[in-house]
Amino acid sequence: MTSPRIKDVARINRNTLPESTDPNFQFRYIDIGAVDNLGRVTIPDSEMIFGSAPSRARRLAPAGAVVVSTVRTYLRAIAAVPDFATPLVFSTGFAVLEASTLIDSRFLAHYCRSQDFIDEVVARSVGVSYPAINAADIGNLPIALPGTEEQRRIADFLDAETARIDGLDASRSVQLKLLSDRERAMLDLSFQEARSGAPTRLKYLFSVRPRYGVLVPAFTDDGVPFIRVNDLLDLEGRADGLRKIPSDLSAQYARSVVRPGDLLMSVVGTLGRAAIAPASLAGANIARAVCSMRFMPDVDVQLVKAWLGTSFFHEQALVATSTDTAQPTLGMEDLGNFSLNWPSDPQERKHMIREISRIQSSMRSLREKLERQKSVLTERRQALITAAVTGQIDVSTASGRGIEE
């Protein structure tokens, strides 16, 4: 086994589009976000022309080449370029590696996704918030290179085994989707079957009109905790890590200052993501993409939050935002006019909350198990690739099923 450098066995950034490129040259543009850490490339639906393309759209990559992200290297955006009818042009944030006759292109792709290679790239990256590496530095990295026939055997083995693992991962993703559908159906049924339920406009449950948050935030190290859409996923867990805005800026948006028990919901992009504000976040403020709902004293906020997960809410949200051309944005007037089947009997509401809590707890447990299985599959995939390309296993006898770490 030899140990040449990457640049000795692959050409790097061989086809970079010059400024003299025909302005009408058509291609599909792939940016950093379109390549994931499993080597999958999402090709956009539409083409663009060179004359109107971003200045970063320069790396013309043939099928079979390997693209390695040179920015935010911790994201592991590394992939083999898929075969596609239209030319694919990648961002200058990628290094494009084209295999020479000394290396099998599939082996090169697997090697670049091995943990050893990734660790080397990350270790040589410069910068804290936006770590990056030069393509030349990637070219100088050593690669343990077996003979050509052995490379092909390893590539054949990994193609088959990673496809099997990817199939299992896809099945778990389908199960997660079905689980979400089942949870929504069960929530729907809970509100449908409310014996004392009556059609009610959401605005009749409010104590004050719902409010948007801060339009243009400015962040500081010492100020008012600031709640954004992603923070709603685990508001209790994120409370200590929230970003902060200046107190005087928050004071300009006094209407959206948070009180414990407020229902905070995303109203831009991902609609309906919600959390109930805990006591620890009293005095915090919210982003423009989040609205704050405050209810009458006799309204069970937990029940309203559960209703946001039903088809009844999402169907009305879809109608209310159907004319949005960019991303869905839910207006406060529309939100207040949403209709829900609200139980008038306090005892029935308490019973519904207990039953919905049981449903959500059960679904959460199943979801965590499926997500853990997906995580284990990802770890096994990575370990298998690393073991195979570094010669830790003999691919002529290994099945991949016993690789644990």
pLDDT score of 38 more than 90: no
Q: Would you state the pLDDT for residue 236?
A: 79
pLDDT score of 401 more than 60: no
- Residue of higher predicted confidence among 404 and 154: 154
State which CATH number among 3.40.50.300, 3.90.220.20, 3.90.550.50, 3.30.470.20 fits the domain covering 6-145.
3.90.220.20
pLDDT score of 398 more than 70: no
pLDDT score of 91 more than 80: yes
pLDDT band, residue 76 (cuts 50/70/90): confident
pLDDT band, residue 404 (cuts 50/70/90): very low
| CB contact at 8 A, 338 and 316 | yes
CB-based burial label for 203 (10 Å; 0-12, 13-18, 19+): middle
Q: Would you state the pLDDT for residue 403?
A: 47
Residues 335-351: pLDDT tens digits? 999 999 999 999 999 99
- Residue of higher predicted confidence among 237 and 36: 36
pLDDT score of 326 more than 90: no
pLDDT score of 405 more than 50: no
Percentage of residues in the chain having pLDDT higher than 90: 86
> What's the average model confidence in pLDDT over 224-239?
89
The answer to whether the 6-145 and 197-342 domains have the same CATH topology is: yes
pTM of the model: 0.80
Residues 190-219: pLDDT tens digits? 999 999 999 999 999 999 999 999 999 999
User: What are the sequence ranges of the domains in the chain?
Assistant: 6-145, 146-195+345-405, 197-342
pLDDT score of 60 more than 60: yes
Q: Would you state the pLDDT for residue 239?
A: 73
Residues 115-154: pLDDT tens digits? 999 999 999 999 877 889 999 999 999 998 999 999 999 9
Residues 255-314: pLDDT tens digits? 999 999 999 999 999 899 999 999 999 999 999 999 999 999 999 999 999 999 999 999
Fold classification of 197-342 (topology level): Adenine-n6-DNA-methyltransferase TaqI; Chain A, domain 2 (3.90.220)
pLDDT score of 402 more than 70: no
pLDDT averaged over every residue in the chain: 92
Lookup: tokens for 26: 């058509």
pLDDT band, residue 237 (cuts 50/70/90): confident
Q: Would you state the pLDDT for residue 288?
A: 95
pLDDT score of 384 more than 80: yes
> What's the average model confidence in pLDDT over 36-46?
91
pLDDT band, residue 1 (cuts 50/70/90): low
